């Protein structure tokens, strides 16, 4: 069962419409590609993207899994069959926020039993009761909050809820202690660094496992090559200055903002 963070009612309603009986997930897309981000960048992986999220980052590059969720419900057996149809032994469960769905833990257990390497791309607000090889934790900074001036869909109605939910130190520390992990921050500019440094320090106090500087990844904000052109070099400089690891977004560099890539 997810440990924390209530799922937003509107989210539950929108993604629950048409939910079949039994274990199923609202799937936005399911595809094979190269892992574009993080410690495993370049590894051929099957991506399972669920719909629905408990946050609303203004920059979300999966708009149709958060701001306006679209999906088709798939039963667990159907999902597993589709994954097995690909020639890849790494599976990335992502979203939206995949851990708002209880069935995600069932899928993770099934994948572990089948010997897959599992990565969960998560905002770090929910702890799954399931095996995960790499918790790819992307804590959301204040610069992600959809204030009225940058809300893509309204006038900042989500800003307070997002702000109140985005950081759960207990959940983050538990994820770090239980799983292989990376802390992958979306960096919009130099002003993010104080919050990153402060959160990493708090996590080093809260978690039992060590957090090394190369477990902390800085990723440039940008959904397209053009947007990354404006952030890539600054974030690389920040990584050098702070001794953190830089991660590219190679799927964007290779295929721009193409779906299913
Ligand atoms: C769409 S999110 C889904 C997983 C989870 N909800 C999360 O935010 O970590 C997938 C990954 O893309 C990152 N991301 C989303 N929008 C981005 C953007 N505009 N620029 C860079 N990274 C972005 C997230 O931080 C996360 O690492
Ligand atoms: N190729 C590729 N790599 C990714 N790594 C994390 C992704 C995500 O959306 O979670 C992602 C994605 O959407 N595509
Ligand atoms: S937490 Fe992830 S899926 Fe949710 S809005 Fe932010 S980037 Fe998008
Ligand atoms: Mg993506």
84 Cβ partners below 8 Å, 6+ apart? Answer: 114
Annotated ligand binding at 138? The verdict is: yes
- Residue range 26-48, pLDDT digits in tens: 999 999 999 999 999 999 999 99
- Measured in Å, residue 205 CA sits from the centre of ligand 2 at 30
- Residue range 202-222, pLDDT digits in tens: 999 999 999 999 999 999 999
pLDDT of residue 59: 98
pLDDT of residue 17: 74
What are the structure tokens assigned to 69, written together?
């969720």
Ligand 2 pocket mutation pick from 49, 121, 132, 256 by most atoms within 8 angstroms of CB: 121
pLDDT of residue 15: 62
Counting from 1 in the atom list of ligand 2, the atom nearest the Cα of 35 is: 3
Low-confidence ranges of the chain (pLDDT < 50): 1-7, 9-10, 12-13
210 Cβ partners below 8 Å, 6+ apart? Answer: 204
CA distances, 124 to each of 135, 260, 261 (Å): 9, 24, 23
pLDDT of residue 9: 47
Give, using CA atoms, the residue closest to atom 7 of ligand 3: 60
112 Cβ partners below 8 Å, 6+ apart? Answer: 118, 130, 131
For each of the domains in the chain, give its residue range(s) and CATH number, in order of start. Answer: 24-255 (3.20.20.70)
Binding pocket residue ranges, ligand 1, CB within 6 Å: 53, 59-62, 94-95, 97, 121-123, 138, 184, 186, 219, 221-223
- Measured in Å, residue 35 CA sits from the centre of ligand 2 at 6
């Amino acid at each position: 069962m997810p440990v924390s963070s209530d799922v937003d009612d509107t989210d539950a309603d929108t993604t629950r419409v048409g939910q079949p009986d039994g274990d199923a997930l609202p799937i936005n897309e399911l595809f094979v590609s190269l892992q574009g981000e993080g410690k495993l960048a370049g590894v051929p992986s099957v991506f399972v993207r669920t719909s629905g999220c408990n946050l609303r980052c203004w920059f979300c590059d999966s708009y149709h899994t958060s701001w306006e969720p679209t999906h088709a419900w798939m039963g667990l057996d159907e999902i597993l069959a589709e994954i097995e149809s690909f020639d890849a032994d790494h599976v990335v469960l992502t979203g939206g926020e995949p851990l708002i769905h209880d069935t995600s833990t069932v899928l993770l257990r099934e994948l572990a039993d089948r010997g897959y390497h599992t990565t969960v791309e998560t905002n770090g607000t929910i702890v799954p009761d399931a095996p995960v090889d790499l918790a790819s934790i992307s804590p959301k900074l204040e610069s992600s909050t959809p204030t009225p001036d940058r809300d893509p869909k309204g006038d900042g109605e989500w800003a307070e809820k997002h702000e109140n939910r985005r950081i759960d130190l207990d959940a983050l520390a538990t994820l770090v202690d239980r799983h292989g992990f990376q802390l992958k921050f979306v960096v919009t500019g130099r002003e993010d660094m104080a919050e990153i440094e402060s959160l990493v320090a708090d996590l080093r106090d809260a978690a039992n496992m060590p957090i090394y500087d190369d477990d902390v990844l800085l990723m440039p904000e940008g959904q397209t090559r053009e947007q990354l052109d404006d952030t890539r070099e600054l974030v690389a400089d920040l990584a050098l200055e702070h001794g953190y690891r830089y991660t590219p977004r190679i799927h964007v560099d290779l295929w721009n903002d193409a779906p299913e890539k």
